[in-house]
Homo-oligomer: A and B are copies of this chain.
């Protein structure tokens, strides 16, 4: 992605967010000044993608700290806890959201005075953002070793610079392989209902000059049957360390099953902040979103009045369908993640 386009940035008390709902037609920024505005931007998917949501949530707390008039540490913590609850409720599935919020809150709580907390909360949010870009670059290096010259790579949704603070997870791996001179071609699934593949992934890759072809989600299996796909790579919204289940954008499971059927590697790229070391898969809440996301496309209704709709935002891919999980700490098999937690 061109350097002048940033997913999210901190401008001294203002969080600037690229409004992804306007892409690819327009590059517009939202300038947010409160945690509540950040929560709304996350909920409405002006910013999306698990790592980007984590960074945005941290920045939401930073806004609260920055603009607070609290004189006492206790008063500031109270305000931060209120923002924490609002941000935490914005979306239920991506674990990075909770991880980033908890990390910033720990810093606030370990501060001895209001002024110190204020400063450290802002610093921690910026650190989370910088670490995310750094993690993506390392993921790119690790993951690019799995990509071969001539690969046809299928990806789903947008796990790119737009889904992170920068560079991307799955698209970070693709960027790194491309930068190494490997000749690859990417198939971007449009990703109904919200079309992040058609609107965001295609846009990102075209900006970088990486060959990309757009398909509808239901063409993926046929493309595999035709021998055009040699790798599938996606991001993740949450990975369950206990069992290796991958929770990602609806449609991921379908690609994973087809990849297994055709003997194609299925790769997941995600920072360790996406790994949930605590929960069992049964405990994860799969967000169900407004039926209108399915019923309307860019304001046009596509189905009759009164029809019922099911609209889960994510699905769950079991570990037997996942070849490797690429993190900033290296490449793992799904069953190896549990150990990663104990190491730290």
Specify which of B221, B298, B310 is in contact with A297 (CB 8 Å cutoff).
B298
Given contacts A303-B202, A304-B202, contact A214 B254 (CB under 8 A): no
Contacts of A222 in B (CB 8 A): 250, 253-254, 312, 315-316
**Contact across chains for B253 and A294 when beta carbons are under 8 A apart:** no
Interface window among A6-14, A127-135, A193-201, A270-278: A193-201
Given contacts A302-B195, A307-B206, contact A216 B257 (CB under 8 A): no
Contacts of A295 in B (CB 8 A): 214
Q: Is A308 an interface residue (CB 8 A)?
A: yes
Interface mask (A210-238 → B, CB under 8 Å = 1, otherwise 0): 00111111111111010000000000000
Q: Is A203 an interface residue (CB 8 A)?
A: yes
Give the nearest-CB partner of A206 in chain B: B304
What is the CA–CA distance of A25 and B304 in the complex, to the nearest angstrom?
A: 7
What is the CA–CA distance of A39 and B315 in the complex, to the nearest angstrom?
A: 42
**New A-B pairs, 13, CB < 8 Å, besides A215-B311, A219-B251:** A25-B301, A190-B192, A190-B303, A192-B217, A203-B304, A212-B307, A213-B308, A214-B294, A214-B303, A222-B312, A225-B253, A254-B254, A297-B300
Interface residues of A (CB under 8 A from B): 24-25, 187, 189-193, 195, 198-199, 202-203, 206, 212-223, 225, 250-251, 253-254, 257-258, 260-261, 294-295, 297-304, 306-312, 315-316
